[in-house]
Amino acid sequence: MGFILFLCFLFNFLCGRVNVINSVKFYAESPGGDTLKVRLLVKRSLLVQSVRPDSALIYAQQGLDISRTINYSKGEGDCLNRLGVVLMQHGKYDKALSVFLASLKIREEIKDLSGELASLNNIGIIYSDQNDNNKALKYHFKAKTIAESIHDRKSLSAILSNIGNCYIKLNKIDSALNFEMQAYTIQQAMNDQTTLQNTLSILGDINYKMGHKDLALDYYRLSVQYAIKNNDKSGLADTYNSIARLYKKAEQADSSIVYADYALDAANKSQYAEGIFNASDLLAHTYSGKNEHLELRYLKIANAAKDSMFNAERIKQIQTLSFNETTRQEEIREEEKRESEKRIFNLQLIAIAVFIPFFFLILLVLSKSHTHPKVIEFMGVTSLLLVFEFITLLIHPLVQQISNHLPVLELVILVILAAILVPMHHRLTHWLKQKLVNVKHHQPQTSGKSKPAANPGK
């Protein structure tokens, strides 16, 4: 009876999923804006990725072609990211990394922060799968910072989970547990079952490494339930492989083989290269010395999967892409530094431009007071110097641009400017002395009563 109910549930779930896919197909094929078609193709690619990965690739490529035709940058970034996810699932890490980096560049240019964090997170997964977990963490933490800044809790929980996974591979169990529990708390609060399955599987890995095998199995089984519910074949393959490894370590070969077979079946259905390799490699080792025929069979499958993911040409391409991306990021940092210096320079110019009129205002006020004429004269000359030096400061970048930084030409231009500005400065200085410094007005006066004049009549 329970089995029949399960079949009914599964049938209804699959029918519902087919209806969703068909509705997306209807809207994608209906007339309307091209940007809408792109978004629907992206959505459709995501929906069929687990059951028809080749179709997912085609839909993403169609969306990319439309986006480039209509110059829809956001759509191009989204479609490139979709292509990267499917290629990564197929084990084509070099091509996946290439399109992820292209997606990241577009999203950085258009300031698409939610898209940017997705690209960064996926690049981190690529490096983690290549066992370069320190580099993976750099990308994951960048993604984490963005997710926190835009308050995207769902993406944040997935990133935290991936960070924990990196720390497991680096054998930093305490750090891994810390980040996984952060992810688990957010996912439970949001009732986010789509990302929860991955976190549960990693919590199983953590507890397995800590020696808590029964608790690990509990986490794995919960993860399997969510993966089946979400129809996530690649996630299912990962968890089944983890269970198979646990049973192999416990010297329960039969159970290990059963779950490794489950993993291989799920991985084959989703064309998940890493899952195929892990399952077939585990089966080959389990059958070693017991069944030579099956050992050889699974060894061939494992070697083929490994070669598709990690052959020398692909590794070299990934290294080249990594180097180019590092160079690009350095160029971005240099450009940001130049922009920062330029902003500081412009702010200083604005401050000087505000200060000079204020200085003149003070000078005018003091000229009407009992301030000593020498002080007025000094301040007048100083104010003019400020004006002319400020003019020189403003003109100098233009002079450099005109002279193309040639010292001789730059010197000639500066001499011509000096020939114009210096006489003007002298005339204005003389005028200020005439207008502002009134010697009679500022002469000190004697205090007290004046002595009465003598009476000439006496």
Per-residue pLDDT tens for 386-430? Answer: 776 777 777 777 777 777 767 777 677 766 766 766 666 666 666
Distance CA 198, CA 183 (A): 10
Instruction: Please state the domain extents for the chain.
Output: 338-436
The one-letter amino acid code at 265 reads D
Where does residue 225 rank: exposed (0-12), middle (13-18), buried (19+ CB within 10 A)? middle
| pLDDT exceeds 60 at position 32 | no
365-392 pLDDT, tens digit each: 766 666 666 666 666 667 666 776 777 7
- Tell me the DSSP string of 335-390: HHHHHHHHHHHHHHHHHHHHHHHHHHHHHHHHHTTT--HHHHHHHHHHHHHHHHHH
Distance CA 458, CA 240 (A): 133
Rounded mean pLDDT, 263-274 = 91
328-362 pLDDT, tens digit each: 777 777 777 888 878 887 888 788 778 777 776 77
User: Of all residues in the chain, what percent carry a pLDDT higher than 70?
Assistant: 76
User: Of all residues in the chain, what percent carry a pLDDT higher than 90?
Assistant: 50
Distance CA 400, CA 413 (A): 10
178-209 pLDDT, tens digit each: 999 999 999 999 998 888 999 999 999 999 99
The one-letter amino acid code at 307 reads D
Residue-level pLDDT at 19: 45
104-154 pLDDT, tens digit each: 999 999 999 999 999 999 999 999 998 899 999 999 999 999 999 999 999
